Amino acid sequence: MNKTTRDAQFGMTKLPLQSGGWGSLLNSASDAPRARPASVKAIQTINDSFIVFSSINSSSSRGFAFVLGLVIGCAGSSMVLADVVLGGVLSREDFWPQLAGVYAILLLISGVFFAWSVTSVRRTLSPPVVLSRRLRKFYCWIEPKEGWVALEYDKVQPVSMVSRSYSVAGAATGYVLAVVDMDDSSRSIRSYVPLVQPHRDYRAPEMVWEFIRSYMDGDPEDLPAADPMPPTDDARADFALLDRRLFGDLIDDRHRVKPGMFPMVYVHVVGALMYWFERAGFWISRVAPKPDWPQDIQAEMSAANFSSSFRVRELTDAERLAYAGKLGYLNRRWLVLGAICTVIVFMMFAVIGVPPWFSELNRG
């Protein structure tokens, strides 16, 4: 079992026979439905050939590494530069070898953080999971060593995993729709593939799974219209994408914060803390190298146009403006939150990098 599986399953090597604190077993492909199907903003693209699921935020951690690496790297370099420019440390008699070693270590640490930042952009980025309707397989990129993993739709066990995440914005509990490939006799997990990002509503994973089942074997006319999602390759839609990725159902279809104290506080606190990390992640998702699609689906994934018998909900006027970067109140909200986040990020740098420039040791 690969590391991705171990991390996601909280150390479990076998899938339990019953639902519990770890999560829930969902209906397999042949069972009777237990929930109404809905896309719950989990589908990025849907057509007659395949579904592309919404990204599971792999770029968010990249954005965090990129920004934090730059901040700490610049702060460390600033400390050294202040002593060189103002303190004249290079001309001191005790510079070599005592002080030279100290400054070399500082520069090395700064270089490591700069390298961390650069690596976050240059490493291969995992594409979203794809479900081929024609081949009845899920395709997921695990990591460069393992490459693409193809799981048989009719053989996997769908699960709703309890996910607990921690970030600078705090802790949160969500529910993740995933598919598990396991040994039928021992229930040992061979592969675990999360399909979409965690959702706050415990019902959402099962609703999305029923949507998938209906897509695979039902009549397109019976399938509810999928929710439209902001394009991931257009920077003009970044504010709309921020709303969907960070806040989910706390934002309505007009990109307004839903009524209530919790949505209002959560949106503004999390937005102010995460703005630059997420924006950096979006940029990385557009410029980072990506693996070629598997040969089985390469032609259809590379096609310019797709035929689709499946419905997608019409964009609201607000969504249409938001995707074009022209929704005024959305832009104003994120510009304010972005300004606050800019101050926070600058303070992260200033706490370490600015004091040496005003130190008494570097005066006179």
Ranges assigned E (strand) in 148-264: 148-152, 157-167, 170-182, 189-194
Q: Which pLDDT belongs to residue 102?
A: 81
Average pLDDT over residues 219-226: 92
Q: Which of 156-165, 203-212, 221-230, 277-286 has the lowest mean pLDDT?
A: 156-165
How many folded domains does the chain comprise?
Answer: 1
Q: What is the CA radius of gyration of the chain?
A: 24
* Segment among 143-147, 198-202, 229-233 with least mean pLDDT: 143-147
Q: Which long-range contacts (CB under 8 A, 24 or more apart) does 177-181 make?
A: 177/26, 177/42, 177/204, 177/205, 177/206, 177/208, 177/209, 178/8, 179/138, 179/151, 180/15, 180/156, 181/151, 181/152, 181/155, 181/156, 181/157
- Does 321 reside within a domain? no
Domain membership flag for residue 323: no
In a domain, 75, yes or no: no
Residue 165 lies in a domain: yes
Share of the chain above pLDDT 70, in %: 89
Q: Is the pLDDT of residue 7 over 80?
A: no
| List of residues 6+ apart from 220 with CB closer than 8 A | 309, 310, 311
pLDDT number for residue 273: 94
Report residue 290 CA to chain centroid gap: 15
Residue pLDDT, tens place only, 307-347: 889 999 999 999 999 999 999 999 999 999 999 999 999 99
pLDDT value for 198: 85
Burial of 185 (0-12, 13-18, 19+ CB in 10 A): exposed
Q: Quick one: which of 242, 281, 273 has its CA closest to 120?
A: 281
Domain that holds residue 168: 1-41+133-227
Question: Rounded to an integer, what distance in angstroms lies between the CA atom of residue 327 and that of residue 316?
Answer: 12
pTM of the model: 0.84
Residue 153 lies in a domain: yes
Mind spelling out the 3-state secondary structure of 184-195?
CCCCEEEEEEEC
